Amino acid sequence: MLTFKILGPLEVVREGRALPLGAAKQRALIACLLVHEGEVVSTDRLIDDLWGQDAPSTAEHMLHVYVSRFRKLLEDDGPKVLLTQAPGYRIELGPDDVLDAALFEVLLRQARDDTQGDPAHRLDVLNRALGLWRGTPLADVAYEAFAQAPAGRLEELRATAEEERIEALLALGRVQEAIPELDALVTRYPLREQLRAQQMLALYRAGRQADALGAFQDARQTLARELGVDPGPALRSLEEAILRHDPALLVPEATSTRPNGVPQEPGPPIRHRRRLGWVLVPAVVVLALVVLSLSLPIGDEPDGGPEVMATGPQSSDALLLRWSEDPGSEAFGGPGDQVVLGGARTTLGYMAFGYTAAARTSGVAERDYDAAVWLVTAPDGWNRVQSPSFASAGNQRVADAAVLDDAIVAVGIDESSGDFDAAVWLSATDEPGWSRVDASSPSLRQTNDQGMRDVTVAGSTLVAVGFERVEEEDDAASWTSTDGRTWVRSVLGALTGPGDQQMATVVTLDDLVVAAGFSFEGDGDAAIWTSPDGTHWQRIVDDSLGGPGDQKINAIAAGGPGLVAVGEETVGGETDAVAWVSSDGSDWDRVDDPAGAFGGAGAQRMFAVTSSPLGVVAAGEDDVGRDTDAAVWTSADGTTWERLPGDTPAMSALTDFGRQSIKVLIASDDGFLALGAEGRGADDDADAWIGLAVR
């Protein structure tokens, strides 16, 4: 099966693997043939499209070479797909082959044919259609003359599909979801009066008449400034209807179905759990911390006198860290498991997020998991935050949190309805009281499985990322919110594809949102997505993210030249740590490891990375058989790394008897807070570590 993609950068995927398409001219040839799929394109026209008036005397020969190379790239399918037919060439797709632009138009026609039917079904079809988009159509050749007309036509169809999708949302009465999406669409298409009308109608139905009239004035001013015209009759009539409170503008009767027509009542519990990455693998993670250690000034020695610092043997730039641990806190003890998945520094103090599980009654007995938040403030140490919103039927987990204005917003997953749903909890920044965001919101609860894994703040918008499972495959997923309570599910851009994709981590760099994770299309590759607003996503195609074996990114942070991503790579059964850097989120370089800092006798994995004025630190584990030690790497700029040797006194807290692993890193004023687990035998003990920097 071949999949040809032009709704974004050019891609050709064969049996789940993206093919290397070669030089710019060869990519242009493929794009030119695809926009005329099923038609014969003459040799003369191809030469003119590729070289224009500057065509060299060897152009026809070079064209034949590009055709031959492309056929070879397609292997056995080449001669059947790229046909020689006088006076040129033709691409003829097989019955199982797909051109994303053609599929988009088929789905768009299906949605239009259903205008008198179920708006929920129409919305689902439009979501699938818009989900095929990964960026600017024909992005590789956007400035070539032959691409202008087809790219413009596709953009017009995309804008029309966006309008029809908003119309379906409004028909379902889901104005709170439509409003932030309309804000983004009006910014992108400021001259489209249909979008302006939908924006006014959504605001009016949300009880925001003044904002609706303000949107009309903004449309009038924009049209006058850009085109020198007044709003059309439809827009003026809508303004008049809003002014007189026309009953015809009221919200239609709410539908009792979910977006795909399935009733909202929870289904029966699902006993068989499918693979969904981290959310299906319970891990025992426990922690403790004396918060007073975080306030130690740089250079102070703990009781017991000086000790040898952990640093690389020959680098004067390496960050010197002294690691220590505390006996623990009762807040993390007791029967069962206490699991930490994320952490954050807030105005209330340091917070840890995760879940708790009841003690096992047998090796196969199912257990109930409840969301959990721990807070540490001097001098009391860690305390478990109690809230009825953390527990209900089924399992709940908090993955991570971000602070927006005066609210702490925690995201995660909920299984109380019988399947996996995205979940959000809120707390004020001046008081640790938590409430659960409406669990029945269509943006958080779908018939498929979803889960949020990380969240960041981009300007005044929260962006959460994670996964969705559709027809036995995982797709990347994202959500946005301006207040933490009302969320909009993103269906735009390169979030789907063959195989499995998951977003595991997200960060903001200047005006760009960057998410990372993995994509399994045969072998596993690290995956990067970028977005200007958390809604429209583009998948980054970069050779440095792939390679032999499997790669995946576990964490990403601002640092080094701009961004640093860390994770793991498995080749031939051996797993090593791996890191990438980027200055802009789009072009990535894999970090060379000439000194072997990322490898070793066992499996090395980086789970966390953070940056501070002291330098960049990554952490994870070194798994050698039954003995797992926490592992730490440091770097001055993200491009040259050193592994802190585990056989020094300064690292003894991380390499003690038993199992240690670091899952979370948070930069403090004078060092780093690491949250993780320490276990001996079948018992896992609470633990946390403080890495203090020493000059």
Other C-beta atoms lying within 10 Å of the C-beta of residue 96: 8
In a domain, 432, yes or no: yes
Residue range 596-635, pLDDT digits in tens: 999 887 889 999 999 988 889 999 998 876 678 889 999 9
- H helix and E strand count, the chain: 11, 36
Whether 147 maps to a domain, the answer reads yes
Between 186-200, 303-317, 458-472, 494-508, the lowest mean confidence (pLDDT) is in: 303-317
> Residues 493, 540: contact at Cβ < 8 Å?
no
Q: Let me know whether 59 and 147 are in one domain.
A: no
**CATH code, domain carrying 208:** 1.25.40.10
Return phi, psi of residue 27, to 5°: -65, -40
pLDDT at 268: 26
What is the predicted pLDDT for the residue at 681? Answer: 55
What does the pLDDT look like over 528-561, one tens digit per residue? 999 888 888 888 888 899 888 899 999 999 988 8
pLDDT in tens, 10-41: 988 887 778 888 888 889 999 999 999 989 99
Name the domain boundary from 482, 510, 538.
Answer: 510
Q: What pLDDT was estimated at residue 554?
A: 96
Total domain count for the chain? 3
DSSP E strand boundaries for 327-395: 337-346, 349-357, 369-377, 381-385
CATH code assigned at 35: 1.10.10.10
Which of 510, 545, 568 represents a domain boundary (last residue)?
Answer: 510
Does residue 372 belong to any structural domain of this protein? no
Task: Judge if 412 and 478 occupy the same domain.
Answer: yes
According to DSSP, residue 614 is labeled T
Whether residues 111 and 203 share a domain: the answer is yes
Confidence of residue 406 (pLDDT cuts 50, 70, 90): confident
Nearest to 662 by CA among 276, 313, 321: 321
Residues 44 and 136 in one domain: no
pLDDT at residue 205 greater than cutoff 60: yes
Residue 377 lies in a domain: no
Same domain flag for 83 and 110: no
Instruction: Give me the amino acid identity at 33.
Output: L
**Is residue 174 in some structural domain?**
yes
If asked whether residues 148 and 67 sit together in one domain, one would say: no
Tell me if 691 is assigned to some domain: no
Mean pLDDT value across residues 128-153? 88
**Domain contains 140:** yes
Note the pLDDT tens digit of each residue in 610-619.
Answer: 998 888 999 9
Which CATH number does the domain housing residue 466 bear? 2.115.10.20
Q: Where a domain ends, among 220, 249, 278?
A: 249
Confidence of residue 313 (pLDDT cuts 50, 70, 90): very low
Query: Which tokens belong to 379?
Result: 């001098």
Query: Are 556 and 505 spatial neighbours (Cβ–Cβ below 8 Å)?
Result: yes
**Residue 17: per-residue pLDDT:** 76
Mean pLDDT on 640-652: 83
Q: In what order do the strands lie in the sheet with 98-99?
A: 17-18, 11-14, 2-5, 98-99
pLDDT at 345 over 60: yes
Within 8 A by CB and 6+ apart from 93, the residues are 2, 4, 37, 38, 81, 99
Do 91 and 190 sit in the same domain of this protein?
no
DSSP 8-state secondary structure symbol assigned to residue 278: B
Q: What is the pLDDT of residues 209-225, one digit of tens each?
A: 999 999 999 999 999 99
State the pLDDT confidence band at 329, using cuts at 50, 70 and 90.
low
DSSP run (H or E) holding 32? helix 24-35
Same domain, 66 and 129: no
Whether 281 shows a pLDDT value over 60: the answer reads: no
113 lies in the same domain as 211: yes
Decide if 493 is inside a domain: yes
What pLDDT is recorded for position 243? 94
Q: Is the pLDDT of residue 670 over 50?
A: yes
User: For 241-265, what is each residue's pLDDT tens digit?
Assistant: 999 999 999 865 544 333 333 222 2
Greater confidence (335 vs 579) lies with 579
186 shares its domain with 55? no
- In SS3 terms, 402-465 reads as EEECCEEEEEEEECCCCCCEEEEEEEECCEEEEEECCCCCCCCCCCCEEEEEEEEEECCEEEEE
Same domain for 419 and 453, yes or no, is yes
Asked if residue 448 lies in contact with residue 470, where contact means CB atoms within 8 angstroms, the answer is yes
Q: What is the pTM of this model?
A: 0.63
Same domain, 9 and 132: no
Domain boundaries, position 482: 386-510
What digits encode the pLDDT tens for the residues 675-689? 877 776 555 655 778
